[in-house]
Amino acid sequence: MKLSDLSKLFFFLIILFNLSFLHAENEVDIWKKTSSNNLKEQEDKKKQNIPSPLINKNTITTNNIIQEQTSTEVNDTLLYGIWDPDKYNFELSMWSNTDGKNIQKTISRINKLDLSETAENILLNTLFSYSYAPKNLSEKDFLNIKINWLIKNKKDDLIEQFLNKNNDFPNKNKIIQYLVDRNISNANIKIGCEKVNFIGKDIKDPYLEKFKIYCLIFNNKKSQAQLLHDILKEQNQSDKFFDNAMDFLLGVSENKNKKIKDDNLLNFYLSSVTFENFKYEPNEKTKKSIWEYMNSANLITIDDITDKEKIKNIETAANKNQVNKKQVFEIYKQIPFELNTLINAKNVYQSLDKIEGRALLYQKYLLSDNTKNKLDLLFMLKDLFKKENLSNIYTEFLSDRLKEFETGEIPKDYISTVERNIISSKSFSQQKIKFDDKTLHRSKLIRYFYEKDYPIKKTQKELENIYKKIKRNKNYFYSAKDIAVLESLEYDGILIPKEINHKDLSRSYNVPDNLNDLAEKGEKGYLALKIVEIIGEDEVNNLDSETLYFITNLLNKLELKEFRNEILATALPLRI
């Protein structure tokens, strides 16, 4: 080959190489651009599809959650709850600025209260929204607060929801045993066996397995029961007492157990169905679940009506709602009195034993045919029950007896007392609302707070029309409730007439500094608990106007609109 030809070839190869290089560069640039776009699309898609705690049960991968601080480490955290935090405008980090010790103290105080419906709703929705545990409180301790509250307040439906939405958690055996015991304590084993099937097969617990084995025997599926019992024994999860009881129920042998076992309700129940001539004397130390079962199964009897200690135990149990309260009054009817004692009951009862005194007045009430005498005796009995801290036995009984009187036959000096002691069967929220457009917080405006998705435009127009009526009254006074309404509407984007200087008016009402600090720090969960404690046993319609104002003010600041609406919808309307 000639030199000139080699030069041409070399020149051609250089050109070809440069073109390939440029093409490769373009390919890399295009790949980079495409890859970047794909990553952005994937990232956007990830943000749109952040896994919900409800979908993933109780496992949340924090790398899939938009965080304030980026981290290269994958951090799997177990969360326990029922509701997605977004439902009530909470966040997973709702407790992150709160000291867990403060939460424990607050919950401890709340547990001593018989919460009103509104207060309990706020507590439930706060405590059982999925979230991370607070500072200085482990996930396990935080979980125990939740489980203990559910059990203490017998929230069976919520417990079932909790079990279904949380795969595995510490102390699961405690909550399962509670559910099993609740089924047994109602003394309706058929329903109990049907209901216990909701618990998934993946949940393994010896107490639950024992109950399921008994249920198979109860439903005459003895071969399946025998098989499961054998497996339980092989796994060393059975015990001698249970084995003897099962062998007896399966017809394998006689019951070899010689002593009633009352360490838990399942063993006690098995004792009651396997011991011949079963007899058990409960006392103050007897577990609540055993009292409830004995009451449901009609196992509580008084063989000796003079046994005051046993009667006292039954009264105590009834006051704790462990025994049907009607049983106390049935016992009172059995206590014998001479005719002369009955005739002079009002004068004699104080000289008798306290149980006999209550029984005597009750029998006298049953024998009376005069309205005034009956009322006298009923309220005398009320005082006696109150002195012995047994009011819970009597409150509903008194209300029911008072309802039996015709309004016209009640003496005038008793009317107000009777009305105060009657428990309304109709809840406050069910009563009809009467609007008054001359008073802002009782006008049609308040429909915005209790009618779902009430139109803002319609509310805006109603506010303008109502204001026209109000401003005609030159002496109109804007109350704390009015200001609570105006602030809430403004927070939701409704324009307030300039003539209403509600911001200046609000300065007359102070928000407690400690609560305001919580709002400023964004401690949504803790502030919600404090509001629960403030409302306590009272419905919010009984709160004073200033307290209602500062509660709504705080909820507005934290954008807890659902809670605010529930409170205003209960507190504001005039109901008839």
pLDDT mean over 129-148: 93
Encode pLDDT of 61-74 as tens digits. Answer: 333 343 434 333 33
Q: What is the pLDDT of residue 35?
A: 35
Q: What is the pLDDT of residue 66?
A: 38
How high does pLDDT run on average in the chain? 84
Is the CB of residue 563 less than 8 Å from the CB of residue 536? no
Instruction: Give the span between the Cα atoms of 79 and 59, in whole angstroms.
Output: 6
pLDDT mean over 355-383: 94
Task: Region of 208 please: left (phi>0), alpha (psi -120 to 50) or beta.
Answer: alpha
Query: Model's pTM, two decimal places?
Result: 0.71
Query: Is 574's pLDDT higher than 50?
Result: yes
Q: What is the pLDDT of residue 13?
A: 47
Distances (CA, A) of 256 to 92, 210, 480: 54, 18, 72
Q: What is the pLDDT of residue 454?
A: 93
pLDDT mean over 453-458: 93
pLDDT mean over 536-556: 93
Q: Where are the domains of the chain?
A: 172-299, 303-425, 430-575
Q: What is the pLDDT of residue 548?
A: 95
Q: What is the pLDDT of residue 191?
A: 81
Q: What is the pLDDT of residue 22?
A: 42
Query: Is 235's pLDDT higher than 80?
Result: yes
Closest CA to 110 of 122, 99, 98, 100: 122
Rounded percentage of the chain residues whose pLDDT exceeds 70: 84
Residue 140 CA, chain-centre distance (Å), reads: 19
